[in-house]
Structures are given as C-alpha cells and as structure tokens.
Amino acid sequence: MRVIAHVDMDAFYASVEMARHPELREVPMFVGGSTRGVVLSANYPARRFGITAGMPASRARRLCPQVAVVHPDFDHYTAVSDGVREIFDTLTDRVEMASIDEAFIDLTTALRRLGGDPEAVGEQLRAQVMDEQRVACSVGIGPSKFIAKLASKQAKPDGLVRVRDEDVIAFLHPLPVEAIWGVGEATAERLHRLGLSTVRDLATTPRATLQRALGDNQGALLFDLAWGRDDRSVLAREPAEHSVGSQETFPQDTDDVAVVATEILRMADRTASRMRAQAMVGRTVTLSVRFADFTTITRTGTLAAHTDRTNDIYAEAMRLFTRLHLQRARIRRVGVRVEKLVPVTDTYQQPALDEPVHGWTDAERAIDKAVLRFGPRAVQRARLTRRSDAQLIHA
C-alpha cells in the first residue's frame, strides 16, 4: 500500500515575509505591487477582506485601504524553499517539488525507518519546517498523489489530514466536482449541465457517458479519479552531486564573532543530522558567508576522513571562518554544506586510539532518535539553546 504525502506551504510568500516581520502577522498584508501588478500571496487577515492571489493590487487596496504591501523578494523565497526541500530529503529521496511551495513525498519505503506511523511523521515534518524556516505548512497523506493533494487542501491552514485507503470513497464522494484535477470553470459548467455536481455523481455516471460528453481521455480520467484511482508515481529528481547543507540569515547584520560561531555550530549540527538521516558521510566542507552589502564568499576544506559528526564539520567550518581574518565585517548570513557525499556503508571509519567506546557518534544517533520522536527541540546542545531575543530567519 502506497503512502504519499502532499506538503503545501500556507500562503508561502506572505508567510516568509511574516517570519521576517512579525509585526505583520495580525494585520492585513499581501505580497505584490502596491498600485500596479497583482497580489502574489495574501495572509489570512487580508483574505478576510476578500483579497486573494491573482487579484489586481488596485482592487485589493480598494477592498482594504489599510492593507500593508510588501514587494516580493524571490531570491529569499527560493532560499527558504530550498531549506524546506532539504528537510524533505531527510525523510526519503522520493521527493517531487511540484512548485516553489508544494511537494509530493513518497513515504512508502521510508516508513519503517521513520517509526511506521504516517501521521507522526507528518506532524514531525510540520514541526521541523516551522522550527527551522518559521513558516507553516499543511500536510495531506493518502494512498495516491490525487488523494494526498485533496487532503492537504482540507488540512489548511496549518494542519494535517490523513485519508486511509479504506476511507477514500467516503472522503472523496461528497466533494464538489471542482475538487478534481483537470476540472476548471468550463469543464465544471459542462458537468453541471449534465446534472453532475459532486464526485459521487461522477462516479455513478457510466464511463462511456462521460467520454461522449468530455472526450475519451478526459472522460476516462475523471471517472477513474472519481473512484480514487491514481497510479502516478512521485517523480524524484536525481541530484548531479549529492550534498547537504543549511544556511541562516541573521535578523540584524552582526560583527559579533561569538554570535556567528554559534550559528555556524547550529548549521553544522543541522547539516550533520540531515546526513545521518540519509546514511551519508562526506569529507568536503564548504562555508559560505554573506555580508551586509550582499556580497558572498565561500571557502572549502577537506577533512582527513569521511564523517557525519557535528564536531568534525563544525571544527572545519570554523577553521575556514578564522582564515578569513575578518576585521569587524558585518555579516548577514552564514551557511555550512558538506559535498561529495557517499553512503556510510561504502566507507571505513578508523577509530582513534584515545576514542572512548561510546562517544559523540553514539550520542548524536541517540539525539536523532529523540528528535524524530519528540520534535526538533527535544535534545539540543546547551550552546544552541541560547538565541538572541530577535528570532532568527532561517533559509
């Protein structure tokens, strides 16, 4: 039995901007042009005034004159989307990004490793996205891509809905025909003229009748979907070169070396955890630093042996940072990435003579299990629990 999850980021552009500007959370706000152009994304307070994505900005301002308008920052939205994708990759390599703000994840073969409960995995995923990226997502889980997507729509905003295989018909048939993929305004109007308003109406109409009314292909497709039949696979992309990384943007530019070092440790810890989840190790560590003027530099170093341990990755990243010899330079963002990963089963780990029988390797694996079961903040290094009062922006 397949288990497919559909993850949909709620009001994505608006959510990212509210993470940057918490003062916008409770006021009507949309991302787009202030006088010209269209609304790209609106938060829920704005939606209560009837403002929706795709609406002309001028009309949105007429509906709510006090609405706050934020001009889009697509580079930042892409960075947040990439960060969310890296979270998905810790679950399985069967991930299909349908767009910048939604993805299908095939959990079928990964469930045993993840504990066996799809709903627990979905809730853990939602918690991790919120903790790392500060944006909400809705998750739908079902036996197919079609049902999973419908379930995520039912889960909005910021929820989770699972449809078990035996519940597909009961879930699907009361829905309006417009809920089915491929049914736009024109098709819906034709179906309504035939007296078909719900999915149940479609399912109880002979396939041949639908094919005569809508054409062979569309008629057959709608009939199958009305019975929940959808065998499309999750189309996972194969990375050209396997790598895992994390980056973080500070709420304010900083020249405090201690603050920067703490966030480099946080990024090393997050990167190492993702590597262990994928059973991968690596030797090539890359540090990226973006300055206040948006210039970015990267430095790469090579470890003596393959590793997935936080301390090893952090030590190399800090060595690269120290060699920059920065003189009070104000830093906007830091990132840590490990590249050219290989499966841990393909490498041999040579233990050091002074290494204890049970050391950091065992401790980090125990931490991973606790985090998977109890959430991203279940166990943390003490240094990483001390954040500044201003919430960091994750990307």
- Which residues form the catalytic set? 102
291 is written with which tokens?
Answer: 């300055």
Residue 309 identity: R
Instruction: Report CA torsion sign: 111, 240, 81, 314.
Output: positive
Neighbours of 325 (CB within 10 A): 7
144 is written with which tokens?
Answer: 């197919």
162 is written with which tokens?
Answer: 């699972």
Query: d(Cα 280, Cα 276) in Å, to the nearest integer?
Result: 6
- In the chain, DSSP assigns E strands to 4-9, 29-32, 39-42, 68-70, 95-99, 102-106, 137-142, 160-162, 243-254, 280-291, 296-307, 331-339, 342-343, 393-394
Query: Residue ranges for the binding site?
Result: 8, 101
Query: Residue ranges for the binding site for Mg(2+)?
Result: 8, 101
Query: d(Cα 30, Cα 277) in Å, to the nearest integer?
Result: 37
Query: d(Cα 198, Cα 173) in Å, to the nearest integer?
Result: 7
Residues 6+ apart with CB under 8 A from 113: none
CA 285 to chain centre: 24
Contact 248, 267 (CB under 8 A): yes
In the block, tokens 């090393």 appear at: 268
* Distances in whole angstroms, Cα of residue 208 to Cα of each of 193, 196, 203, 216, 264: 17, 15, 12, 8, 62
Query: d(Cα 87, Cα 89) in Å, to the nearest integer?
Result: 5
Looking at residue 391, the DSSP 8-state letter turns out to be P
